[in-house]
Amino acid sequence: MGSKEPLGMIFRVKNRECKVSRLLKENGVMEFKIIGIKPYNDKMIHAVEIHEGNITKIKMLESEGCELCRLLSSDKAFLISAKVEDDNMRCEVILSSRQAFRKISSVLRTYNGFKIISIVKGAPMLTKRQEEALIAAVRMGYFDIPRRIKTKELAKMLGISQASLTETLRKAMKKLIMEHYRDLLVGER
């Protein structure tokens, strides 16, 4: 694999400097997910997903940002999500290259609780199970409108539970979408 191929990284870190986390905690929100960060003039704009009971809201919050925000909004990184509970963050990012990975992970090592959970090298590939489920779903009309086969029937045909089928299809579609739009997400050609 070349050094210019993108990498996906999932990591955990403690970030006590997160201004968005502080603001939300002051307003009684203890768990949320940051789904986007963008520099705007001398501030940072955060797209934040907040669950209130059965309702999910997306809010746009402005702050001065922190070092982690600036790092993950650089031209070498693309934040997929950062799930926040207290000061703990579980972040999913796409990095433009191995060089970007080395640079960003060297900064992240200075944070308490930093731990890499997983790294996906190169273009995401479907597992055999994901490929089989996706091909069967397409062939059997699962994605047709109206559907020609129900989730329960397709799951039974594949010998898996409905929940497992749904999860497998969602993961497969996410990988395909991420690969298809890689140039837009990474920002490097």
Give the other-Cβ count within 10 Å of 99's Cβ: 12
pLDDT tens per residue across all 189 residues of the chain: 455 677 889 999 999 888 999 999 899 888 899 988 888 888 998 989 898 888 888 888 999 989 999 898 887 888 888 998 877 899 999 888 888 899 999 999 999 999 999 888 765 467 888 988 988 898 888 998 999 899 999 999 889 999 999 999 999 998 888 776 765 665 443
CA distance 50 to 32: 5
Distance CA 152, CA 159 (A): 10
* Enclosing domain of residue 42: 7-121
Q: Give the tokens for residue 35.
A: 């789904």
**Does residue 2 sit within a domain?**
no
Residue after which a domain boundary falls, among 121, 139, 170: 121
Which residue, 7, 154, 164, 34, is CA-closest to 88?
34
Residue 53's pLDDT is what? 82
Query: Could you tell me if 92 and 174 lie in one domain?
Result: no
Cβ(95)–Cβ(76) below 8 Å: yes
- How far is Cα 115 from Cα 180, in angstroms, rounded to an integer? 29
Please state, as a whole number, how many other Cβ atoms lie within 10 Å of the Cβ of residue 89.
Answer: 23
21 within domain boundaries: yes
pLDDT of residue 185: 64
Task: Tally the domains of the chain.
Answer: 2
Q: Domain boundary at 76, 92, 121, which?
A: 121
